[in-house]
């Protein structure tokens, strides 16, 4: 009867060993989770940097297009002024 109430040393050692394994697995999972969280943060930062780069390029392209249109308009005005000057002289 006494054997049923108290686990044998071998069973106790096995339970302790399993507890240690479980604790190690929990630590490993915690480290893995932290690593995944860190990778997610790095990914978010990379995405934000890429968005900022694309927005900057889009602003530069719009500014270039505006300058080109201004140059075209000024060229047309200069041509119109030149033609008007020829008719006036």
> For the segment 27-53, what is each residue's pLDDT rounded down to a tens digit?
999 999 999 999 999 999 999 999 999
Tell me if 15 sits within 8 A of 7, measured CB to CB. Answer: yes
Rounded CA-CA distance 28/19 in Å is 14
User: For the segment 43-87, what is each residue's pLDDT rounded down to a tens digit?
Assistant: 999 999 999 999 999 999 999 999 999 999 999 999 999 999 998
Whole-model pTM?
0.56
Q: DSSP for 8-23? A: -HHHHHHHHHHHHHHH
Q: 3-state DSSP call for residue 28?
A: helix
Distance of alpha carbon 48 from alpha carbon 57, whole angstroms: 14
User: Which residue in this structure is represented by tokens 């249109």?
Assistant: 69
């Amino acid at each position: 009867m006494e054997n049923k109430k108290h686990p044998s040393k071998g069973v106790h050692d096995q339970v302790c060993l399993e507890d240690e394994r479980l604790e190690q697995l929990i630590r490993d999972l915690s480290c893995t989770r932290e690593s995944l969280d860190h990778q997610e943060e790095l990914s978010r930062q990379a995405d934000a940097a890429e968005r900022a780069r694309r927005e900057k390029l889009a602003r530069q392209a719009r500014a270039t297009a505006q300058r080109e249109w201004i140059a075209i308009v000024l060229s047309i005005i200069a041509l119109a002024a030149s033609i008007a000057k020829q008719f006036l002289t």
